[in-house]
Structure 1
């Protein structure tokens, strides 16, 4: 069964802002990696078709496919690096409360891609988020 991760996107309010930051700070030619302190124990399930879903200001708005989960370093200095697909896929805005670190997200609970949602092809992500927030979508 496919397993996903969900993580807060701190410092960026929109998907576009995250992509612009990545291009300016890291560079388009560099691999996209998310670093975290704890290595997921279910890493094999994450690499088998899972995605990293990001929460912006209380809403899941995007995802990226997980390519690899690696532990870097040893002992107390060890960290986890999650290598992600550079393609960022917009999702249907889905409310999510704040939390620390990352959480597992089952495939059945993951929001659908925005491109696949009925009537959502031409809706800007900010408008979609606002509609979802007031319960109109």
Structure 2
């Protein structure tokens, strides 16, 4: 097990998803079509080898809350039609979505690094079905009630 402080992650908005279930459904359809799970980004993370070496994850932000993480298994180039363009980066993802304690998060463009010490903890498996919706939990936290 890697020290949480040493782990380097990425955080990314999950645009278009209304809930964690939406993301699960989209990815299940992707897996049924036989393709691997990946997310395309224009900019390669300069620290991609560190993310792989430390066992980093992609933390998905859904409707203003960091709701889950997905282990990153690799990075690969995706070429454009124009050979003069710099290739996109595919972030290759493991199939499991791991719900996290929903932390409120402001929107931003692109992706950002997320040190392990700043990442929300995973939710215990027993709590996955018993929690409030992540958006409500995030709002309660932002108000200092939770």
**TM-score, structure 2 length as denominator?**
0.82
Instruction: Give CA deviations for 1:14-70 in whole Å, capped at 9, x if unaligned.
Output: 11111112223x233321001110110000111120000000111000110000012
Aligned match for 2:24, one of 6, 16, 19: 19
Contact persistence 1:3–1:106 (CA under 8 A): yes
User: For 1:100 and 1:35, how far apart are their aligned partners in 2?
Assistant: 14
**How many residues are paired up?**
133
Contact persistence 2:31–2:37 (CA under 8 A): no
Structure 2 counterpart of 1:90: 99
Give the superposition deviation at 1:102: 0.3
RMSD (Å) for aligned C-alpha atoms: 1.9
User: For 2:50 and 2:42, how far apart are their aligned partners in 1?
Assistant: 19
Contact persistence 1:53–1:62 (CA under 8 A): yes
Following superposition, which runs of at least 4 residues in structure 1 exceed 4 angstroms of deviation? none
Structure 1 counterpart of 2:63: 57
Q: How does 1:1-137 map to 2 (within 5 A)?
A: 1-24=6-29, 26-28=30-32, 29-48=34-53, 49-73=55-79, 75-115=84-124, 120-124=127-131, 126=133, 128-135=134-141, 136-137=145-146
Give the superposition deviation at 1:77: 4.7
Query: Unmatched 5+ residue regions in structure 1?
Result: none
Q: 1:121 to 1:54 in 2, by over 3 A?
A: closer
Instruction: Give CA deviations for 1:64-102 in whole Å, capped at 9, x if unaligned.
Output: 000001223364151000100000100000011100000
